Chains A and B, each alone.
Chain A
Amino acid sequence: MTENARDDAGAAAGTTGGYEIPEETPAAGSLDRDTLTAEQQFAVEEQLFRLADDEFVHAERLTEWQIYAPTLESDLALANVAQDEFGHARLWYDLLQELGYTEAECIWEKPADEWTHSTLVERPFDDDGWGNAVVRGYLYDVAERIRLEALVETSYAPLADRVGKALSEEEYHREHAANWLDRLAEDDEARERLDAAVDELFPHALSLFAPGPNEEAILEAGVRRETLADMRAEWLDTVVPYLESLGLTVPEPDAADRPADRGRDGSHTDAWAELYEAFTATHDEIDFDRPARLRAEEAE
C-alpha cells in the first residue's frame, strides 16, 4: 500500500466510510425480535452496542468527578448525568439481553478489545481537569442528540419504544455543559485550558462517527435513518461555530491528527486497559455462582 493509499484508507475508516441510505428500507417499527433475519440482527446488535458502550464508559469516567468537581452543585450534577448515562446504557444492554446476551457478556466479562465505544469517552482527564470534563460532555452530548434523533424512526420496534425517553433525559446534559463552557470561556486562563481540551478531545470525538463492520446492514435494515457522514456534518455544523464563538480554536476536522485507535473496531487508546481493569474488578471478585437473593424473591 502506498503512503497515500494508506492515508485514504485511514481517513475513510477514521471518519464515516462511504455509505448511503438505500432507497427501500423496512418501515418504522416494522421489525421485532422474532422477525429479524440474521443480517438484521447483526445490524441491531452493532447499533445497540455502539450506543450502550459509549454511555457506559462515558458514565464510568464521569463518576470520577464526584469528589473533584469545583462546586458541590457540580459534584451532584456530574453524578446525576452519570446516573442518567448508566440508565441509558441499561436501556440498550437490556435490549441486547432480549436478543440472548447476558449482562455479564455485555459488560463485565466482555473482553476489552470487543468494546466498541468511541475513544472520546475512555480518555483520562489529565491536567486539563474540569475544562476537559466540560468540553467532553459538550462534544458527546451534541452527538448523542443527533444519533438518537436518527433512531426515532428506527425499523426496530423495541428500540423505537425507548428513544424518546432517552432523548428527553439528555437535554439538560447539553444545557449543563454549554452553561459551564460559557462561564469558563470568559476567563483567559480557563479558556486556555478549554483550548487544550478541545485540541486533545476533538480528534477522539470524530471517532464517534466511525463505522463498524455492519454499518451497511444498519442502513439496509433501517435500524438507523441517517448516515454517519450526515450525522458528522450536522455535529460539526453545531459544535464548531459554537466553540469558535467562545474564542476557542477548533482543529480542522479533515486535517486533525486521528488517533490510530478507532474505538468502534475494538481498538482503544492506552487509557482503556486501566479503566477496564478498574470497573470489572469487583465483578471478578464476587462469587456469582451464589448470588444474593432479592427481598421479594425470598417472600415468594
Chain B
Amino acid sequence: MPANAPLGGGADPDEGAASAAREAGGEACAYTSYEDGEAPESYPKTGEGAEGVEADVWAALREVEDPEMPVSVVDLGLIYDVTVEEDGRCTVEMTLTYTGCPAKDMLTNDVRCAAETAPGVHEAEVRIRYTPEWNVNMVTSAGREDLREFGLSV
C-alpha cells in the first residue's frame, strides 16, 4: 500500500469488495473506494486569498510532496488551514488520506519544517484533523494533472 495515498494501489480484502463492486456494475478489480463523496464546500483549501506571512506559508507547503507521489500536499487537498499569530507562531491543520499512513510522522515533520522556512514564522505546529474526511475529489485540478502524469488515473 502506498505510504499515504492508496489511490488505486490498496490491497483489497479478497472477494468482498470485488463482489460488491461487481454487483454495483463496476470493474472486477475494486479498490478502496476514494471515488465516493464530493469535495465539501470550501475544500480543497489552497491558500487562495491568503495574505502576508500566511501566504508565504502556503507557498512553502506547496514544495512538500507526498512521500510516494510527486504531488504537493496542497494539491492533494491535505492542508485544511494555516494561521500565523502576530508573535510568529504558526499552526497548520492537515489531514491524511488514510489513518494507517506509515509516513505520518515524516509527512507532518516535513510540513512543519516547510512552514518554518517562511519568513516571519517563528515556530510551527501541525495538527491532524480527520473532519471533513478526505476524498479524491479534494485533489486540485493541478494535482490531478500531476497524478495523471505519474500514471494514476483520477
Contact = CB atoms under 8 A, between A and B. Distances in A.
Nearest to A169: B99
B16 A165 contact: no
A161 B104 CA distance: 17
A294 interface: yes
Contacts, number: 88
Nearest to B99: A87
A83 B100 contact: yes
B141 interface: no
Interface stretch (B7-15, B51-59, B144-152): B7-15
Interface stretch (A14-22, A176-184, A223-231): A176-184
A297 interface: yes
A55 to B, nearest CB: 10
A1 interface: no
A240 interface: no
A77 interface: yes
Contact of A175 (B13, B100, B128, B133): B13
Interface in B43-99: 98-99
A84 B99 contact: yes
B6 to A, nearest CB: 9
Interface string A117-161: 000000000000000000000000000000000000000000011
A74 interface: yes
Contacts of B98: 87, 169
B17 A296 contact: no
Contact of B14 (A84, A90, A161, A179): A179
- Chain A CB within 10 A, most for which of B10, B14, B101, B104: B14
- Of the candidates B11, B13, B129, the one having the most CB atoms from chain A within 10 angstroms of its own CB is B13
A81 B11 CA distance: 10
B105 interface: yes
A80 B15 contact: no
A8 B101 CA distance: 45
B16 A176 contact: yes
Interface string B114-143: 001000000000001111010000000000
Interface residues of B, number: 29
B11 A172 contact: no
B14 A77 contact: yes
Contacts of B105: 294
Contact of A91 (B1, B17, B99, B113): B99
Contacts of A94: 128
Contacts of A183: 15
A180 B110 CA distance: 41
A61 interface: no
B25 to A, nearest CB: 17
Given A90-B99, A296-B110, A79 B131 contact: no
Contacts of A299: 113
Given A161-B129, A296-B106, A296-B110, A86 B16 contact: no
B20 interface: yes
Contacts of B17: 172, 175-176
B128 A87 contact: no
B113 A175 contact: no
Contacts of B12: 77, 80, 172
Contact of A80 (B13, B99, B113): B13
B113 A71 contact: no
Interface of A: 71, 73-74, 76-77, 79-81, 83-84, 86-88, 90-91, 94, 160-162, 164-166, 168-169, 172-173, 175-176, 178-180, 183, 294-297, 299-300
Interface of B: 1, 10-17, 19-20, 32, 98-102, 104-106, 109-110, 113, 116, 128-131, 133
16 contacts: A74-B14, A77-B12, A77-B13, A84-B99, A87-B98, A87-B101, A91-B130, A94-B128, A161-B131, A162-B99, A165-B131, A169-B98, A169-B100, A172-B32, A176-B13, A178-B16
Closest 10 CB pairs of A and B: A87-B100, A176-B13, A175-B16, A87-B99, A165-B130, A77-B13, A76-B11, A179-B16, A83-B100, A176-B16
